[in-house]
Chain A
């Protein structure tokens, strides 16, 4: 079974985003970009499935600028993906269009399982995996904290409000990763060197005949309201007094 893993290049999670003064968006010039953390977990899971013999090949795909090749796809192959596909575009592509492109990739690659991150930490949409499942007519196991393949089914334990839930899905299926699914391995230097010789296929959005024009228009982006500076209290008695003022303590 082949596993397809879509990944996204995003502002590194350690960088504090700065809103542009003209309100058009977040400033992404000269800042560190990395693989979306949930996508690292997706690759790790795919590679582990291969190591267990449940998967035969791991193919990673990204849609984005040319730099995604070095920022994201190299890391993915160094972590253990067998080959990579870059669908190059300089435009922002919304989850719906991403899902349509991925559907086209799935038609060519015929994976048995597609593992995505549950959300990207830039647009925080949490949509692409579910949309792709709908377009393909496949089952979906979102927010996964455990994945177990048995024959032509996959059992996915999901993190839901209040606890965990397990669903049994027919393959092929979609899985989206939650943080506790696994701990991604580091791409070691020798593996990064080796990754450079692993295959990379370059495509464009037009190659797939998908209309990727945006449905949403961002009118403005602003910083959230700032909280006013607070006070520090000297001791527990003062804090008790404050809690009484707030009416949460008798």
Chain B
């Protein structure tokens, strides 16, 4: 089987999520990559070094600069004439483009897979991760999005892929990029961090969130996350959100501070290796999944913890 992996990048560097998709693809067969963007030859060269990669298809055109689904999906669909499967990381870009490709190919997509059980059989979470379904497809071509935390990352070095330019399918003329507001952070990225400190509604306001959660995160070299309640209350921007409707994370250590543990939040973090919960309510559901719990007032406990580390 020839599997094509969509390389997620910012026209400068390959994003980590791609490496997990490469691992999933390698379980299906021969791995090819697609780098589509503008001025992204450097990305293609870097992608060719990923371990286990064969051909790297490079589509360099202004139409692909911002990965608009309307322009990118026809390109991927065209490449599927010579591939059996296409895998996208289950990031916002992957989720945006992949189903458009699937519909163009008249196949059902397999969303957010957790494992490859066979050439046509996969597991995926349903009901916010409260159930795991094993599904088998009868479609001739596979369109898949891959949950990054469920697959080890392929090595970024050691491969010897060959870069080959592919013809652009052009601009569909339906959409254009109008701007972006990207939150700036000095801390590690949430989805790839080894340690995450997350805050919830109990922080009460934005000032407390910054004053209590961030020093602890900095002490541990951790990324900062938040529950939906904290995001909805405006304590932090929404790209901090961990949960079914936010980011799915699986760090070595996840520290939940003032988070009750609603199923929508647990869906985003319950695959973390070690979960630590700090909450003043000893009956909070978070303690049912926490490996280590501390019942106490976060306003006292967390500053004390930060100081003692």
Asked whether, in the complex, the Cβ of B239 is within 8 Å of the Cβ of A249, the reply is no
Beyond A217-B136, A242-B292, whether A134 also contacts B131 by CB under 8 A is no
Which of A134, A217, A233 interacts with B100 by CB under 8 Å? A134
B170 to chain A, nearest CB (A): 14
A236 — which chain B residues lie within 8 A by C-beta? 294, 296, 301, 304-305, 308
Per-residue interface assignment for chain A, residues 11 to 38, with 1 indicating a CB less than 8 Å from any chain B CB and 0 otherwise: 1010011010000001000000000000
Asked whether, in the complex, the Cβ of A162 is within 8 Å of the Cβ of B137, the reply is no
Complex Cα–Cα for A217 and B96 (A) = 24
B176 — which chain A residues lie within 8 A by C-beta? 167-168
Q: Interface with A: B26-34, B106-114, B161-169, B205-213, which one?
A: B106-114
Asked whether, in the complex, the Cβ of B107 is within 8 Å of the Cβ of A240, the reply is no
A170 — which chain B residues lie within 8 A by C-beta? 173-175
Per-residue interface assignment for chain A, residues 101 to 123, with 1 indicating a CB less than 8 Å from any chain B CB and 0 otherwise: 00000000000000000000111
Asked whether, in the complex, the Cβ of A126 is within 8 Å of the Cβ of B111, the reply is yes
Q: Interface with A: B35-43, B50-58, B67-75, B151-159, which one?
A: B67-75
B19 to chain A, nearest CB (A): 15
Asked whether, in the complex, the Cβ of A95 is within 8 Å of the Cβ of B109, the reply is yes
A132 — which chain B residues lie within 8 A by C-beta? 103
Per-residue interface assignment for chain B, residues 82 to 106, with 1 indicating a CB less than 8 Å from any chain A CB and 0 otherwise: 0000000001110111111111101
- How many chain-B residues does the 8 Å CB contact rule pick out? 89
Asked whether, in the complex, the Cβ of B292 is within 8 Å of the Cβ of A219, the reply is no
Asked whether, in the complex, the Cβ of A140 is within 8 Å of the Cβ of B127, the reply is no
Q: Is A155 an interface residue (CB 8 A)?
A: yes
Asked whether, in the complex, the Cβ of A239 is within 8 Å of the Cβ of B294, the reply is yes
B59 to chain A, nearest CB (A): 19
If over half of A's interface residues share one DSSP class (helix, strand or loop), that class is named, otherwise mixed; here it is: mixed
Asked whether, in the complex, the Cβ of B102 is within 8 Å of the Cβ of A223, the reply is no
Complex Cα–Cα for A178 and B289 (A) = 27
Interface size, A (range) = 35 or more
B308 to chain A, nearest CB (A): 5
A interface residues, Cβ below 8 angstroms from B: 11, 13, 16-17, 19, 26, 94-96, 99, 121-135, 137-140, 142-143, 145, 155, 158-170, 173, 178-180, 214-224, 227-228, 230-233, 235-240, 242-243, 246, 248-250
- Show 25 A/B contacts (Cβ-Cβ < 8 Å), sorted by A: A17-B131, A26-B127, A130-B95, A133-B70, A139-B175, A158-B92, A162-B183, A162-B239, A165-B177, A166-B177, A167-B175, A180-B232, A215-B108, A215-B139, A219-B134, A221-B126, A223-B131, A223-B132, A224-B125, A224-B270, A230-B289, A231-B291, A232-B282, A240-B305, A249-B220
B interface residues, Cβ below 8 angstroms from A: 66, 68-70, 73, 91-93, 95-104, 106-112, 121, 125-139, 173-183, 191, 194-195, 219-220, 222, 228, 232, 237-239, 244-245, 247, 252-253, 263-264, 270, 274-276, 282, 287, 289-296, 301, 304-305, 308-309
Knowing that A236-B304, A249-B309 touch, tell me 20 more A-B residue pairs with CB under 8 angstroms: A96-B103, A96-B109, A126-B95, A130-B69, A131-B102, A133-B70, A160-B92, A161-B92, A161-B191, A163-B180, A163-B181, A163-B182, A167-B175, A167-B176, A216-B138, A217-B135, A219-B136, A222-B131, A232-B294, A248-B222
Instruction: List the 10 closest pairs (A to B, CB-CB), nearest first.
Output: A130-B99, A134-B103, A131-B103, A139-B174, A127-B99, A230-B291, A215-B108, A163-B182, A17-B127, A166-B178
